[in-house]
């Protein structure tokens, strides 16, 4: 997988988030501080869909036995940070 | 197009559509069916991956049905139990509990005493405090037992930031201290170590890395404590592929990867006469089919939904992705034009989803749908009490015949034991 910089990761992550939301919230209104559940209205099922979509599109891997998924999926920023560091580790 | 990864359905599964339809008719749905010959087959496949002389223990938690325990008992398996209930189940099949060991991080004094009274020959101890509780219990009952120290080497597969940070076992420092501690006459003999580092491992390399970490830690501890301990349980985590892109472990390739590790360890520590591994999922998953009937078909906001009678309460424990990733499943007994559908169970929660936007022959009301790889973490891992639904029945298929091995737990029975 071609290396993505932080900016590309943010665009991709926010694009996937928007595609899963059925309201008209545009990607550029989503901020790093936006809380995925409370502010963007994701429930557990939608978060799993988000996780699967990220794994499939970006090749990152979320392991419920190793990663604190609640912490990772707390805000858009915490999610982007996890994705960036995963991609850095895995090259 | 998002088809189910049906290439993962084991080829030699003998549960054909005719038999599935007959089972649904006779026992009603939702229903679990286990192919007995498949249990035998997976046992042989696991044995192929391991050197001679390595004992295999069946992890009862994957499927604690007596019929399944009995099948593995007849094949020569030991048993790994992690609760009083599992201990009781194995006792029903093998009253002398030979080859059984008890593990788990929350063994109270009462549970330890119960295990000792039952005659459990081996207990994997998870903490220094638990070891002290075991000494006290064994002394009080004057019941001797052997113990393993469960290790947490902190080098689990994946090397992610939280690797090894789990609640299980003892870190090497604590294990070393436990080896040197004085039992004060308690009839407990520490005979070795136990570890369990990963789950759903599908790559031989990952399994090998885990075993290597356990071998190394065991050698280091024995050297530091100047002891020679004969038993080493390497754990398991042999995975079953359930999603697109995953593949079955090749037992021959796995053996090639593991054999040098075993040889090296036995060369260095030839007193290790009790090598063991564990497996639950790999042994039990592929024999199981979950059968469910379509209750309703609808279109909501342009999306097709197929509602079946067995959902989260009956099989939800098996899939952490809540259907976001398709698992192997089929429409039974007929064909129809492909459509994109979301399969849901009957519960009032969006989490009750078996398959999201999957491409399959479009089902209609009354159709049967079969979900595969359902023999492990199926019925007993699911929330049968949720929405007061109850649990499905279990049936074993052998030589074309069907026999009921667990009655369904009907919702009426859920009222038992309650009062106003």
Q: How distant is the Cα of B152 from the closest Cα of chain A, in angstroms?
A: 14
Q: Please tell me the predicted confidence (pLDDT) of residue B147.
A: 98
The token duo for B343 is: 């399969």
Q: How distant is the Cα of A73 from the closest Cα of chain B, in angstroms?
A: 15
Q: Please tell me the predicted confidence (pLDDT) of residue A88.
A: 80
Check CB contact of A64 with chain B, cutoff 8 Å.
yes
Compute how many other C-beta atoms are within 10 angstroms of the C-beta atom of residue B366: 9
CB < 8 Å to B166, chain A: 65
Q: Please tell me the predicted confidence (pLDDT) of residue A86.
A: 87
Residues B51 and B318 sit within 8 Å (Cβ to Cβ): no
Q: Please tell me the predicted confidence (pLDDT) of residue B226.
A: 97
Q: What is the CA radius of gyration of chain B?
A: 23
Average of per-residue pLDDT across A32-36? 94
| Contact call for B353 and A66, based on CB within 8 A | no
Which H, E and C letters describe chain B, residue by residue? Answer: CCECCHHHCCCCCCCCHHHHHHHHHHHCCCEEEEEHHHHHHHHHHHHHCCCCCCEEEEEHHHCCCHHHHHHHHHHCCEEEECCHHHHHHHHHHCCCCCCEEECCCCCCHHHHHHHHHHCCCEEEECCHHHHHHHHHHHHHHCCCEEEEEEECCCCCCCCCCCCCCCCCCECHHHHHHHHHCCCCCCCEEEEEEECCCCCCECCHHHHHHHHHHHHHHHHHHHHHHCCCCCEEECCCCECCCCCCCCCCCCHHHHHHHHHHHHHHHHHHCCCCCEEEEEECHHHHHHHEEEEEEEEEEEEECCEEEEEECCCHHHHHHHCCCCCCCCCCEEEECCCCCEEEEEEECCCCCCCCEEEEEEEEECCCCCCEEEECCCCCCCHHHCCCCHHHCCECEEEEEECCEEEEEECCECHHHHHCCCCC
Average of per-residue pLDDT across B29-40? 98
Check CB contact of A44 with chain B, cutoff 8 Å.
yes
Which H, E and C letters describe B167-231, residue by residue? Answer: CCCECHHHHHHHHHCCCCCCCEEEEEEECCCCCCECCHHHHHHHHHHHHHHHHHHHHHHCCCCCE
Check CB contact of B156 with chain A, cutoff 8 Å.
yes
Check CB contact of B383 with chain A, cutoff 8 Å.
no
pLDDT tens digits for B42-64?
999 999 999 989 999 999 999 99
- Cβ pairs bridging A and B (under 8 Å): 33
Please report which confidence band the pLDDT of residue B167 belongs to, taking 50, 70 and 90 as the band edges.
confident
CB < 8 Å to A49, chain B: 324, 356
Q: Please tell me the predicted confidence (pLDDT) of residue B159.
A: 40
Q: How distant is the Cα of A35 from the closest Cα of chain B, in angstroms?
A: 21
Q: Please tell me the predicted confidence (pLDDT) of residue A47.
A: 93
- Phi/psi zone of residue B251: left (φ > 0), alpha (ψ -120 to 50 degrees), beta? alpha
| Contact call for A52 and B353, based on CB within 8 A | no
CB < 8 Å to B320, chain A: 48, 64
Half-sphere exposure of B205 (CA within 13 A, CB side): 1
Average of per-residue pLDDT across B159-168? 57
The token duo for B152 is: 């947490």
Q: Report whether pLDDT(B163) > 60.
A: no
| Contact call for B160 and A44, based on CB within 8 A | no
Q: Please tell me the predicted confidence (pLDDT) of residue B160.
A: 36
Length of chain B: 420
Check CB contact of B342 with chain A, cutoff 8 Å.
no
Q: Mean pLDDT for chain B? A: 94
Strand, helix or coil at A75? strand
Check CB contact of A35 with chain B, cutoff 8 Å.
no
CB < 8 Å to B244, chain A: none
| Contact call for B160 and A68, based on CB within 8 A | no
**Best residue of A66, A69, A73, A78 to probe chain B, by most B CBs closer than 10 Å:** A66
Report d(CA B82, CA B232) in Å as an integer: 18
Q: Report whether pLDDT(A91) > 70.
A: no
Percent of chain B with pLDDT over 70: 97
Check CB contact of A67 with chain B, cutoff 8 Å.
yes
Average of per-residue pLDDT across B282-298? 98
Smallest Cβ–Cβ distance between A63 and the set B160, B321, B322 belongs to B160
CB < 8 Å to A42, chain B: none
Q: Please tell me the predicted confidence (pLDDT) of residue A64.
A: 72
CB < 8 Å to A64, chain B: 320
Q: Please tell me the predicted confidence (pLDDT) of residue B232.
A: 98
Smallest Cβ–Cβ distance between A63 and the set B158, B325, B351 belongs to B158
Average of per-residue pLDDT across B134-146? 97
Q: Please tell me the predicted confidence (pLDDT) of residue B162.
A: 35
Average of per-residue pLDDT across B117-129? 97
Strand pairing category for B401-406 and B393-398: antiparallel
Q: Please tell me the predicted confidence (pLDDT) of residue B197.
A: 86
**For residue B30, cis peptide bond before it (omega within 30 degrees of 0):** yes
CB < 8 Å to A67, chain B: 160, 162
Q: Report whether pLDDT(B291) > 60.
A: yes
Q: Please tell me the predicted confidence (pLDDT) of residue B1.
A: 87
Check CB contact of A88 with chain B, cutoff 8 Å.
no
Q: CA nearest B306: which of B348, B362, B347?
A: B362
Q: Which of A28-37, A57-66, B306-315, B411-420 has the lowest mean pLDDT?
A: A57-66
Please report which confidence band the pLDDT of residue A25 belongs to, taking 50, 70 and 90 as the band edges.
low
Average of per-residue pLDDT across B163-186? 89
Report d(CA B278, CA B266) in Å as an integer: 19
Q: Report whether pLDDT(B304) > 60.
A: yes
Compute how many other C-beta atoms are within 10 angstroms of the C-beta atom of residue B252: 12
Q: Please tell me the predicted confidence (pLDDT) of residue B39.
A: 98
Smallest Cβ–Cβ distance between B162 and the set A43, A45, A67 belongs to A67
Smallest Cβ–Cβ distance between A44 and the set B166, B351, B356 belongs to B351
Bridge partners of B289, per DSSP, are B33
pLDDT tens digits for B73-113?
999 999 999 999 999 999 999 999 999 999 999 999 999 99
Compute how many other C-beta atoms are within 10 angstroms of the C-beta atom of residue A41: 13
CB < 8 Å to B199, chain A: 65
pLDDT tens digits for B322-358?
899 999 999 999 999 999 999 999 999 999 999 999 9
DSSP at A1: -
Q: Please tell me the predicted confidence (pLDDT) of residue A27.
A: 63
Name the residue in chain B with its Cα closest to that of A62: B160
| Contact call for B324 and A43, based on CB within 8 A | no
Q: Report whether pLDDT(B8) > 60.
A: yes
pLDDT tens digits for B355-383?
999 999 999 999 999 999 999 999 999 99
Q: How distant is the Cα of A45 from the closest Cα of chain B, in angstroms?
A: 6
Chain Cα centroid distance, residue B51: 22
Q: CA nearest B17: which of B272, B262, B311, B331?
A: B331
Q: Report whether pLDDT(B125) > 90.
A: yes
Q: What phi and psi, each to the nearest 5 degrees, are found at residue B50?
A: -120, 145
Residues B57 and B124 sit within 8 Å (Cβ to Cβ): no
Please report which confidence band the pLDDT of residue A63 belongs to, taking 50, 70 and 90 as the band edges.
confident
Structure ipTM: 0.70
Q: Please tell me the predicted confidence (pLDDT) of residue B161.
A: 33
Q: Please tell me the predicted confidence (pLDDT) of residue B9.
A: 97
Q: Report whether pLDDT(B120) > 60.
A: yes
Q: Report whether pLDDT(B172) > 90.
A: yes
């Amino acid at each position: 997988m071609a290396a993505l910089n932080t900016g590309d990761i943010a665009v991709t992550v926010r694009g996937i988030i928007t595609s899963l939301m059925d309201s008209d919230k545009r990607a550029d209104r989503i901020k790093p501080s936006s809380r995925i559940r409370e502010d963007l209205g994701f429930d557990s099922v939608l978060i799993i869909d988000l996780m699967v979509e990220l794994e499939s599109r970006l090749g990152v891997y979320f392991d419920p036995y190793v990663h604190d998924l609640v912490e990772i999926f707390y805000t858009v920023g915490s999610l982007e940070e996890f994705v960036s560091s995963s991609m850095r580790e895995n090259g | 197009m998002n088809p189910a990864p049906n290439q993962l359905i084991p080829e030699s599964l003998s549960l054909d559509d005719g038999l599935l339809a007959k089972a649904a008719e006779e026992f009603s749905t939702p229903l679990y069916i286990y192919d007995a010959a498949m249990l035998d087959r997976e046992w042989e496949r696991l044995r192929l991956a391991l050197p001679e002389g390595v004992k295999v223990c069946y992890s009862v938690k994957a499927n604690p049905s007596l019929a399944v325990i009995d099948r593995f008992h007849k094949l020569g398996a030991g048993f790994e139990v992690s609760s009083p209930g599992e201990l009781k189940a194995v006792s029903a099949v093998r009253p002398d509990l030979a080859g059984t060991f008890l593990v788990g991080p929350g063994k109270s004094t009462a549970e330890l005493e119960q295990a000792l009274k039952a005659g459990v020959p081996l207990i994997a101890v998870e903490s220094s405090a638990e070891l002290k509780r075991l000494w006290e219990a064994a002394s009080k009952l004057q019941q001797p037992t052997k113990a393993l120290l469960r290790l947490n080497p902190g080098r689990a597969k994946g090397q992610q930031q939280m690797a090894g940070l789990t609640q299980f076992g003892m870190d090497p420092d604590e294990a070393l201290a436990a080896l040197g501690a004085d039992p004060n006459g308690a009839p407990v003999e520490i005979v070795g170590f136990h570890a369990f580092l990963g789950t759903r491992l599908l790559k031989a390399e990952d399994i090998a890395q885990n075993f290597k970490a356990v071998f190394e830690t065991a050698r280091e501890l024995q050297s530091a404590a100047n002891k020679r301990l004969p038993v080493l349980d390497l754990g398991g985590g042999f995975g079953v592929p359930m999603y697109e892109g995953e593949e079955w472990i090749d037992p021959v390739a796995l053996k090639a990867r593991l054999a040098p590790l075993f040889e090296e360890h036995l060369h260095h520590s030839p007193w290790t006469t009790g090598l063991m591994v564990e497996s639950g999922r790999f042994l039990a998953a592929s024999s199981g089919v979950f059968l469910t009937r379509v209750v309703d078909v609808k279109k909501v906001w342009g999306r097709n939904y197929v509602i079946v009678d067995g959902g989260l309460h009956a099989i939800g424990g098996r899939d952490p992705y809540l259907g976001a990733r398709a698992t192997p499943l089929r429409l039974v007994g007929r064909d129809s034009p492909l459509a994109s559908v979301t399969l849901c169970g009957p519960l009032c929660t969006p989490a009750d989803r078996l398959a999201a936007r999957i491409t399959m022959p479009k089902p209609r009301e009354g159709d049967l749908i079969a979900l595969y790889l359902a023999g492990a973490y199926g019925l007993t891992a699911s929330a049968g009490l949720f929405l007061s639904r109850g649990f499905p029945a279990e049936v074993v298929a052998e030589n074309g015949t069907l026999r009921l091995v667990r009655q369904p737990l009907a919702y009426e029975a859920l009222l038992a034991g309650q009062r106003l």
